[in-house]
Amino acid sequence: MRLVRFGEVGAEKPGLIDDEFRLRDLSGEIDDLAGEALSRAGLAKIRALDPKSLPKTDPNQRLGPPVGGTRNFIAVGLNYADHARETGAEPPEEPVLFSKATSSIAGPRDEIVIPHGSTQLDWEVEVAVVIGERCFQVSEAEALDHVAGFTLCHDVSERNWQKERGGQWLKGKSAPGFGPLGPWLVTTDALSDPGRLDLWLDVNGRRMQAGSTADMIFDFRTIVSYVSQFMALEPGDVVTTGTPAGVGAGMKPPVFLKDGDIVTLGSEHLGEQRQMVSAQSR
């Protein structure tokens, strides 16, 4: 299934994209794509519905992040060897974890506003897992049983804040709009091999990143299990799993986003995002 949330910021409704790519309204069946609705039982209830029985709705409405109620937004750094090399780092022996503020979560087509003081705004296309069942200290074998599905994440990063402001990546990863998710939450049963998803990102029509989840150092099972050794992941939590090479900071000379830039990113099975970059008005 391809599940979405649509509507104005803070008032999103749950929806479904049917096989003909029509937007269907799920709000008569569930309150939100959050909590219990993301569990195995909750998704089975949605899966049992006839999509044609659901009301069609305006496809031009804003799409919000395809998951609600997120308490933890966890990210994995340096999880593609080519990206580690372009940053000058050695591939890690264990997953490198950091947090993004949940207030950074945005819709897939929402504007990216350059915060005051930002000088090195960078891009990162990633695949994120959305947790459907509470998991704490789960094994790799059972890790994906706790995952509701997969979605695109744009891990927008302010490199100066990330690297030069005390070594805490959270600072460069958490401004409002720095975590676009979507357009869809693709449930695990709809992906035959999430370990081979293509990824790409363009800036102003120029291809900057092209990769595959097959190149991840730590796969999805490993990551979910690993994170769960240190914290309990709850339904609606998001774990974004790293980016391939091609970020602006890795170019010679470095290239960063500026006012008026258009970023598009996507994957064949996970859809596409598009964001305009805008300077913050005073």
Mean pLDDT taken over the chain = 96
Q: What pLDDT, in 10s, does the model give residues 225-251?
A: 999 999 999 999 999 999 999 999 999
Q: What pLDDT, in 10s, does the model give residues 192-224?
A: 999 999 999 999 999 999 999 999 999 999 999
pLDDT at 282 over 50: no
What's the confidence (pLDDT) of residue 83?
Answer: 87
**Residue 226 bridge partners (DSSP):** none
What distances in angstroms separate CA 138 from CA 70, 98, 229, 241, one per listed residue? Answer: 20, 20, 7, 18
What's the confidence (pLDDT) of residue 104?
Answer: 98
How many helices (H) does the chain have, and how many strands (E)? 6, 19
The answer to whether position 136 is within a domain reads yes
pLDDT at 90 over 90: no
Give the closest residue to 134 by CA, choosing from 232, 36, 33: 232
Question: Is residue 76 within 8 Å of 94, Cβ to Cβ?
Answer: no
CATH of the domain at 178: 3.90.850.10
Give the closest residue to 14 by CA, choosing from 29, 22, 153: 29
**Residue 14 binned pLDDT confidence (cut-offs 50, 70, 90):** very high
**Residue 82 binned pLDDT confidence (cut-offs 50, 70, 90):** confident
The answer to whether position 4 is within a domain reads no
Residue with tokens 């599940």: 3
Q: How far apart are CA 4 and CA 185, in angstroms?
A: 6
pTM reported for the whole predicted model: 0.96
Give the closest residue to 178 by CA, choosing from 275, 258, 104: 104
Q: What pLDDT, in 10s, does the model give residues 253-274?
A: 999 999 999 999 999 999 999 9
Which structural domain, as residue segments, surrounds residue 180?
69-279
pLDDT over 70, % of the chain? 99
Give the closest residue to 224 by CA, choosing from 136, 94, 153, 152: 136
Number of domains in the chain: 1
Q: What is the CA radius of gyration of the chain?
A: 18
The answer to whether position 254 is within a domain reads yes
The answer to whether position 222 is within a domain reads yes
**Residue 281 binned pLDDT confidence (cut-offs 50, 70, 90):** low
What's the confidence (pLDDT) of residue 21?
Answer: 94
pLDDT at 25 over 80: yes
pLDDT at 118 over 60: yes
The answer to whether position 59 is within a domain reads no
The answer to whether position 58 is within a domain reads no
The answer to whether position 33 is within a domain reads no
The answer to whether position 195 is within a domain reads yes
